[in-house]
A and B are shown apart, each in its own frame.
Chain A
Amino acid sequence: MKLSSRAKAVSQSFFAIIIGLLIGSFLMIIFGFNPINAYYALFVGAFGTVTDVLETLAFAVPLMLTGLTFAVGVRAGLFNIGSEGQMYLGALAAVVIGGTLDLPFGLGVVCATLAGAFVSLLWSLTPAILKVTRGVHEVISTIMFNWIAFWLTTYLIVYHFGDPTSAERSIRVLPSSRYLILFEGSTLTTVIFVAVAYCVLVYFILWGTKVGYELRVEGSNPDAGRYAGVKVWKTTLLAFMLGGIASGLAGASQIIGRPPVWSFYATLGNVAGLGFDGLGVALIGRNHPIGVIAASIFFGALIQGSRYMQYNAGVYFELVRAITGIIIIALSVPEAITVLRRWVKK
């Protein structure tokens, strides 16, 4: 029973991906592109050489973390789409600590990483508290916080932590606070171990502890949760906190764990959008921490491959995010396969 429901979930994810790619190819055809060339280029760009695979994994790092933010929220019955803003603050904190404190190597990395996670955690607490005390819907509050975070972060980069030699970016992270590059010539660093470890940790919290169990009960069956005496404020806060840390790590990973810039663009270009991509990652990964890791590699491949696709097939890389949206929409219709089958039979 359990296996078959899992098989059904996996087949739904594949079905959604196929729908997304089909509608994506339709959007290419109407503007005169060849989808077969484009998808071939995308695949080659993502997996063609060892370096490409490493780049795909490097993109998977922030995606698994932002995906985890949304996934933990859904497990608790919440739609936490504040990953984007939390990530900005996390990245900013990492660049401030990593760029100003000259600590011995190791300690510098740890401090900058923790700073990113902690500031993002603080930023995620306000929507959680508004939800618990005033019943403010988290979709509205987290989006408002995303925009406030955007303007606050750009302001701080431009006015207080700007690079004196280059106006378009922040100060650079000192070498002692940078994660080590795993393979020469790629941008994959040891930060991937932190990301995977955090996903596994969240898996153990959700499936191995009492409070994690309560969180999942609250998400899957609030009535049962109420009868069992689950405190909603506790599960809501926990979900936001676990998610906030994940997004903070995601932001930090792109600053102190991603060569070659080692600084934060004032346009927020090195992290912008990764929070929203995480929504697709979480849903394809069925909101399960381990599934999220697998899904993040798929979306990492889409992003890495899309740059190659633009270069070789002329299809602009932005299309990939539109495909993500289609995949999310397809996943929102759980009975799509059944409905389609019935319709084909007719």
Chain B
Amino acid sequence: MRIALGAISLLIVFGIAGIFGLDSKSILEIGLLAMTPLALTSVGEVVNEKAGLVNIGLEGILLISAILGVVGAEFFNNGYFGLLVGLMSGAAIGFVFGILSIYGRADQVITGIGINVFALGFIPYLFMVIWGVPGIRVVPAELHVPAFSIFLFRVHIVTIIAIVVALFSYYMLNMTPLGLRIKAAGEQPTALDVAGVRVDRIRLFAAIFGGALCGLGGSFMSIGWFGSAVKEISAGRGFIALACVVFSGLEPLLALAGAFIFGLAGGFATTIAITPGIKETIPFYFVNMIPYITTLFVVTVAIGKKRFPKESGKPYRRE
């Protein structure tokens, strides 16, 4: 049903694009760029939720790692190091979130909201103390990690990493002992504990894994995609990724598919905004709403009947 829905939305997008004379190649290229942070974030969150942790602070992690990625790239004078700094700052926030949820038995939704609010204040503050400007920083061109062309089609290395990570996560969850333990930590933590596996360590691993992927998605946005950092760079993508997770029913490959649909909506919007003849008729205010309306539409129509892990979002207490 989901696959059919995905195919239909694809047809609709390209159909409309064709009618209005939009460039389908441009939609697909931008769509793949827009897919990348969503795919990384939602695949990470799928693993996280499988293990029984629900992190809704993804928006904040994306924002913080996007900016810290630029800081890192400028510090090391290397764009790839910047991507790595973003990944590590995401992992660090995931680690803190994991510690608070597992050992502090935190209310995970509230912790996530706190991470988001912290990012909303910390990032403008960081812009001022580091660059002395309120909220925009252009990444120097030599630090930019650009997309490369295969047969005239532009793809980004991080996009390929995101697809590989989704495949790897599918393999890990379904075909390795670690995946079995991650799923058990979300479904039957007591059984896992009785079997002699430390539930806390499995969950902490998942939290760091999810945070790291989200962090890479964040630094990709500033260094790899936009080539600049603004204080609203995440623009709701953390929550769109959560919508992907809901859409996927916690299957990494479906999360990737969901990210592709939402990415295309973004590519569609951007292409409208830059196509002469169309950009004058539709105010960009409405074009900017497209990703959010698409998200609402997809979560409303394709709400999963799939069961989520039983112990998801609940702290595990040893008897």
A-to-B contact residues, CB < 8 Å: 27, 31, 79, 81, 130, 134-137, 139-141, 143-148, 151-152, 154-155, 158-159, 273, 276-277, 279-280, 283, 316, 318-336, 339
Contact = CB atoms under 8 A, between A and B. Distances in A.
Contacts of B116: 276, 325
B114 A151 contact: no
B121 A151 contact: no
Interface in B271-319: 283, 285-286, 288-289, 292-293, 295-296, 299-300, 303
A77 B109 CA distance: 12
Contacts of B243: 140, 144
**Residue among A27, A145, A333 with most chain B CB within 10 A:** A333
A331 B113 CA distance: 11
A261 to B, nearest CB: 20
Given A27-B122, A147-B289, A334-B107, A318 B117 contact: no
B76 interface: no
A137 B288 CA distance: 22
A147 B236 contact: yes
A144 B295 contact: yes
A168 B158 CA distance: 39
Given A283-B110, A331-B110, A140 B121 contact: no
Interface residues of B, number: 46
B117 A130 contact: no
11 contacts: A135-B303, A144-B296, A147-B236, A147-B288, A148-B293, A152-B289, A279-B117, A321-B122, A325-B118, A326-B114, A329-B115
Contacts of A273: 120
Interface string B94-130: 0000001001111111110111111111101100110
A320 B121 contact: yes
A335 B100 CA distance: 10
**Residue among A141, A143, A280, A339 with most chain B CB within 10 A:** A143
Contacts of A318: 121-122, 124-125, 128
B235 interface: yes
A328 B295 contact: no
B28 interface: no
A140 B299 contact: yes
Given A140-B243, A154-B285, A333-B111, 11 more contacts: A136-B303, A137-B246, A139-B109, A147-B235, A147-B288, A318-B122, A322-B121, A328-B118, A329-B100, A332-B113, A333-B104
A320 B300 CA distance: 36
Contacts of A332: 100, 106-108, 110-111, 113-114
Nearest to A32: B129
Contacts of A140: 239, 242-243, 246, 295, 299
B56 interface: yes
A325 B120 contact: yes
Contacts of B293: 144, 148
Nearest to B122: A322
Contacts of A279: 113, 117
A327 B113 CA distance: 11
Given A319-B121, A336-B104, A159 B113 contact: no
B109 A328 contact: no
A231 to B, nearest CB: 21
A147 B59 CA distance: 13
Contacts of A277: 117
A335 B105 contact: yes
Interface of B: 56, 59-60, 100, 103-111, 113-122, 124-125, 128-129, 235-236, 239-240, 242-243, 246, 283, 285-286, 288-289, 292-293, 295-296, 299-300, 303
B303 A159 contact: no
Contacts of A159: 283
Contacts of B286: 151, 155
Nearest to A143: B239
B173 to A, nearest CB: 22
Given A159-B283, A321-B120, A332-B106, A27 B125 contact: yes
Contacts of B122: 27, 318-319, 321-322, 325
Nearest to B283: A155
Contacts of B303: 134-136
A167 to B, nearest CB: 15
B246 A148 contact: no
A234 to B, nearest CB: 21
Nearest to A332: B110
B281 to A, nearest CB: 13
Contact of A319 (B106, B113, B125, B242): B125
A125 to B, nearest CB: 14
Nearest to B109: A79
Contacts of A79: 109, 113
A81 B113 contact: yes
B300 A328 contact: no
Contacts of A324: 117-118, 121
Contacts of B246: 137, 140
A151 B285 contact: yes
A325 B117 CA distance: 5
B1 to A, nearest CB: 15
A340 to B, nearest CB: 10
Nearest to A33: B129
A322 B110 contact: no
Contacts of A134: 299-300, 303
A271 to B, nearest CB: 14
A283 B299 CA distance: 28
A134 B296 CA distance: 11
A328 B117 CA distance: 8
Contacts of B295: 140, 144
Given A140-B299, A144-B239, A147-B236, A276 B120 contact: yes
A339 B128 contact: no
What 4 A-B pairs have minimum CB-CB distances, sorted nearest first?
A325-B118, A321-B121, A328-B114, A322-B121
Nearest to A320: B121
